[in-house]
Homo-oligomer: A and B are copies of this chain.
Amino acid sequence: MASPAVRDQDNHNDAENSSIGYCGKVMNKVVEFPRKLKKLGQDDPRRIVHSLKVGLAVLLVSLLYYFQPFYNGLGDTAMWAILTVVVVFEFSVGATLGRGLNRILATFLAGALGFGVHHLANLSGDIAHPILIGIFVFLLAASVTFIRFFPRMKARYDYGLLIFILTFCLISVSGYRDEEILEMAHKRASTILIGAFIAVFVCVFICPVWAGEDLHNSVAKNIEKLGSFLEGFGDEYFKVVGSGESNMAHLQGYFSVLNSKQSEETQANFARWEPRHGRFRYRHPWRYYLKIGNLTRQCAYRIDTLSGYLNSEVQTLLNIQNNQVQELCMKMSSESGKALKELAWALKTMTEPCSAASSHITKSRAAANNLKSMLRTNAAAVAGVGGDQVRLLDIVPAVTVASLLSEIVAYAEPIEKSIQKLASLQHVQFKSAERKKPTALTSCKTSSSNVGPHHVITMDRLASLQVQESNKEIGSKFQRIRSAV
């Protein structure tokens, strides 16, 4: 099984580390550092671009110090511009915009509130002043901190709430007179606005990284990874000639899908802040991707279970090598794999899932049904040993694998429906696939290239409602498909 192998590798590393001593470890790290740096950049070159962008933004804001009229106007508060750039600049546009807006809004609101409290305390006399301020500071800090525990607030406004407490305390506690505070507030607001503007400008206009696009691509990529596993599983399990051990690494691609929930949720939260970009309109239904992601993960859990049978002893399977079960299992696996890959491609390119995906799903379901009827007719056929007594033990792994495969096959359909539903939602622009000649053999990719990249239609509400209705049937269909095999 793949996963315990990963655990063993960990142990192996531990053992290796403990044997070479502290000096060796440090030397190893020093030697490996440039290699790791290079790999980090190669894995995602946008990281290098991002680092340069941060350098540029900080450089730009630093220049303000040397720009005399500006410095004379703002003086030392210009440092708040540097602070804002460094703190606000994030990898994706959504994250940067989110932090920037959070910072600006929270600073203004808390500034106003802090000024009010400060003014009130000033009116109340010298003795009551610190008591009043203390009570307000305590109550506000405690209540806003508690609000930060709301999952929804934490996801979107955590930074804003922090800045809110901070600014409120700084202003209400400060020993300045009201006029001084107003002047300071004016300067600080200007510098924060300038800093946020520079950060957002550099982030958006120089090689922008869109959180929404990342989410879109990673959800599609995850479906594709499951498809790749299923395409390769049949050959690997039944040890078809030509497929060596090297295939195992290819089959482990789905590992990353298992723990993708948190990163998808973070990206969806960032994406909410992003304006219209590329193929995505403002108010693109990002949250809907989380539902597709959930389905994908549930499918991945079953695939992880299935992969546990990859290394189980093959000998017991020899009995069924010569019969149709192997063929049907391989068909279920490869067809559902192809279907998932088609769906991943459709999602990635924002093309409506076309007939090719449906036909693969139909084929995989047909294989599942064939297997079912074969099992219904008799048992001996499965064992493939003619008239001999069936030894159930021999067929248990095969039956389990077939049953798990039919579980997994059943997931392709809801994934297809959910992509169709996404295509039908408001604010979403999916290209239509070629519909005139829906031959089963024509791949989506071919038909779409006929249509050309600029042939874009928006699904009307009627189609949307139809798909929504059909989507409600997923649950019941799901059950029916599961009971097959």
Contact = CB atoms under 8 A, between A and B. Distances in A.
A21 B468 CA distance: 20
Interface in A290-317: 291, 294-295, 297-298, 301-302, 304-305, 308, 311-313, 316
Interface string A24-58: 00000000000011001100000110111011101
Interface stretch (A204-212, A234-242, A354-362, A472-480): A472-480
A100 to B, nearest CB: 16
A189 interface: no
Contacts of A10: 291
A116 B76 CA distance: 20
A174 B66 CA distance: 10
B55 A87 contact: no
Given A175-B71, A261-B259, A305-B302, A58 B376 contact: no
Interface string A371-395: 0100110110010000001111101
A1 B411 CA distance: 12
B258 A301 contact: yes
Contacts of A392: 375-376, 378-379, 382, 395, 399
A407 interface: yes
A51 B142 CA distance: 4
Contacts of A294: 3, 6-7
A466 to B, nearest CB: 16
A221 interface: no
- Copies of this chain assembled into the complex: 2
Given A175-B65, A389-B378, A305 B295 contact: no
B4 A62 contact: no
Contact of A8 (B47, B62, B301, B475): B475
A113 interface: no
A211 to B, nearest CB: 16
Interface string A137-161: 1110111011001100000000000
Contact of A51 (B145, B170, B393, B414): B145
A174 B485 contact: no
A440 to B, nearest CB: 28
Given A54-B142, A162-B86, A475-B8, A174 B301 contact: no
Nearest to A89: B145
A219 interface: no
B169 A62 contact: yes
A166 interface: yes
Contact of A79 (B7, B11, B174, B261): B174
Interface in A385-421: 389-393, 395-397, 399-400, 402-404, 407, 414
Interface in A115-152: 130, 133-134, 137-139, 141-143, 145-146, 149-150
A82 interface: yes
A258 B258 CA distance: 8
Most chain B CB within 10 A, of A5, A82, A372, A382, is at: A82
Nearest to A150: B40
A467 interface: no
A483 interface: yes
A300 to B, nearest CB: 8
A59 B308 contact: no
A41 B404 CA distance: 42
A313 B478 CA distance: 12
Given A10-B291, A55-B139, A305-B302, A170 B390 contact: no
Interface string A243-261: 0000000000000001101
List the 6 closest A-B pairs by CB distance, nearest first: A55-B142, A51-B146, A400-B403, A305-B305, A55-B138, A301-B301
Interface of A: 1, 3-8, 10-11, 36-37, 40-41, 47-48, 50-52, 54-56, 58-59, 62-63, 65-66, 71, 76, 79, 82-83, 86-87, 130, 133-134, 137-139, 141-143, 145-146, 149-150, 162, 165-166, 169-170, 173-175, 258-259, 261-262, 291, 294-295, 297-298, 301-302, 304-305, 308, 311-313, 316, 372, 375-376, 378-379, 382, 389-393, 395-397, 399-400, 402-404, 407, 414, 471-472, 474-475, 478-479, 482-483, 485
16 contacts: A7-B291, A11-B472, A54-B165, A55-B139, A55-B141, A63-B130, A65-B175, A79-B174, A82-B166, A82-B173, A86-B141, A86-B169, A372-B393, A376-B392, A379-B379, A382-B392
